[in-house]
């Protein structure tokens, strides 16, 4: 079976690398659709690099936001590009997001994602709740959406070290540490976390670590943290080694996505056994609940403080997370993915006709 991943974000996204390696063990020949061609990038690339099946991960890679006067054209042309590509090569799609982050309200943004889902032969979702959300949002036939785990990202990281060693490496004080990690972007709600820290003055330090979405947003977060002595900002790309040290140092992790569909960061914290505090509204995240280290809150004005204290009182438990890591193993993910590939290749016609 000859499959191409698109786009090639393997340098930055461990999900693609780990899935590709596991699929290779199952006998699938995985390649990456590399490069970018102007006008109709996806269909033109497939013409040059044909394959048996395309596995599309992030459609927005083929109408990138360059913040110039041509952004509207890139978004407008995508559906034609996708039609031409699908006529040449059948494709499946992993639903990493329900909508495109930060740009879903731009012209053609929602229409492009709808087209990508509706014309796919099969869609992989990472939870039953995500599957239902996809079916309802895009009027998909239920049999088109297959649930597979998102995969254990901790295998790409070194094993945890002691909290004391990690704090020493990072130059942190011994006070309880709450960690917000990953890309620093508007949809992740870090400003609200900082506002609560400023108002409540908890006896715990907060660290926000990761690469900012833009310099402007970096400045926004810096201003929000200004004058807060128990807040640490470490902006920049995190290597796997650095991330392992931060997770080892943390007493808990905090997530406050305004909206999210799947979260590799939350899954990684779960794999490390680090207690996490996250909003109750994020129902599409499958974290194998109930679990004592997965703690949901309703609001910052209500129960966030008490839930944070519960998380800080609970020690991290890497060993206790073994069952989660086994359930999300890449071997299992790859086997389910191969089943999906075979289903997609066995279909004569595109099978995502809207439910009437």
DSSP percent split of the chain into helix, strand, coil, nearest 5:
45, 15, 40
Under a CB-based contact definition with an 8 Å cutoff, are residues 270 and 251 in contact?
Answer: no
pLDDT score at 37: 82
pLDDT score at 104: 53
C-alpha 240: how far from chain center:
16
Q: Report, as an integer, the average pLDDT of 154-164.
A: 93
Q: Count Cβ neighbours within 10 Å for each residue of 12-28 and write b for 16 or more, e otherwise.
A: ebbbbbbbbebbeeeeb
| Percent share of the chain, pLDDT over 70 | 94
| Complete domains list, the chain, with CATH | 2-151+329-345 (3.40.50.2000), 154-326 (3.40.50.2000)
pLDDT score at 353: 36
Asked whether residue 202 carries a pLDDT value surpassing 80, the answer given is: yes
pLDDT score at 62: 87
pLDDT band at residue 259 using 50, 70 and 90 as cut-offs: confident
Q: Report, as an integer, the average pLDDT of 215-243.
A: 94
**Which helix (H) or strand (E) covers residue 325, if one does?**
helix 322-327
pLDDT band at residue 11 using 50, 70 and 90 as cut-offs: confident
pLDDT score at 350: 36
Asked whether residue 106 carries a pLDDT value surpassing 70, the answer given is: no
Asked whether residue 100 carries a pLDDT value surpassing 70, the answer given is: yes
Distance CA 286, CA 292 (A): 15
Asked whether residue 348 carries a pLDDT value surpassing 60, the answer given is: no
Under a CB-based contact definition with an 8 Å cutoff, are residues 2 and 53 in contact?
Answer: yes
Q: Which residue has the higher pLDDT, 159 or 74?
A: 159
pLDDT score at 13: 83
Q: Where are the beta strands (DSSP E) in 69-135?
A: 91-94, 122-125
pLDDT score at 169: 95
pLDDT score at 19: 97
Asked whether residue 354 carries a pLDDT value surpassing 70, the answer given is: no
Asked whether residue 12 carries a pLDDT value surpassing 90, the answer given is: no
Asked whether residue 225 carries a pLDDT value surpassing 70, the answer given is: yes
Asked whether residue 219 carries a pLDDT value surpassing 60, the answer given is: yes
Distances (CA, A) of 239 to 20, 107, 146, 211, 253: 20, 35, 32, 11, 18
**Which helix (H) or strand (E) covers residue 224, if one does?**
helix 215-225
269-283 per-position pLDDT tens digit: 999 999 999 999 999
Residue 172 makes CB contacts below 8 A (sequence gap 6+) with: 205, 207, 232, 249
């Amino acid at each position: 079976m000859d499959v191409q991943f698109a786009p090639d974000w393997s340098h930055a996204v461990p999900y693609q690398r780990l899935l590709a390696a596991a699929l290779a063990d199952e006998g699938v020949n995985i390649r990456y659709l590399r490069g970018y061609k102007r006008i109709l990038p996806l269909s033109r690339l497939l013409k040059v690099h044909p394959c048996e099946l395309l596995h599309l991960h992030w459609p927005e890679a083929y109408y990138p936001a360059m913040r110039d006067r041509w952004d509207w054209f890139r978004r407008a042309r995508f559906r034609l590009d996708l039609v031409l590509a699908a006529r040449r090569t059948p494709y499946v799609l992993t639903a990493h997001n329900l909508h495109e982050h930060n740009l879903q309200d731009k012209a053609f943004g929602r229409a492009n994602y709808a087209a990508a889902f509706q014309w796919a032969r099969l869609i992989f979702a990472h939870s039953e709740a995500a599957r239902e959300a996809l079916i309802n949002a895009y009027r998909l036939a239920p049999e088109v959406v297959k649930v597979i785990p998102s995969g254990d990202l901790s295998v790409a990281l070194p094993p945890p070290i002691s909290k004391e060693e990690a704090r020493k490496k990072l130059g942190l004080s011994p006070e309880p540490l709450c960690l917000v990690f990953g890309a620093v972007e508007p949809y992740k709600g870090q400003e609200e976390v900082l506002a609560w820290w400023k108002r409540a003055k908890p006896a715990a330090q907060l660290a926000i670590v990761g690469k900012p979405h833009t310099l402007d947003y970096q400045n926004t977060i810096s201003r929000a943290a200004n004058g807060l002595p128990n807040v640490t900002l470490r902006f920049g790309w995190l290597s796997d080694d650095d991330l392992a040290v931060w997770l080892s140092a943390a007493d808990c992790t905090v997530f406050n996505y305004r909206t999210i569909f799947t979260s590799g960061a939350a899954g990684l914290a779960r794999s490390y056994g680090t207690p996490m505090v996250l909003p109750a509204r994020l129902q599409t995240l499958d974290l194998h609940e109930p679990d004592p280290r997965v703690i949901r809150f309703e609001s910052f004005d209500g129960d966030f403080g008490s839930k944070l204290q519960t998380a800080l009182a609970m020690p991290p438990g890497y060993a206790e997370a073994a069952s989660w890591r086994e359930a999300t193993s890449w071997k299992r993910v790859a086997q389910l993915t191969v089943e999906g590939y075979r289903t997609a290749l066995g279909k004569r016609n595109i099978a995502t006709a809207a439910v009437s």
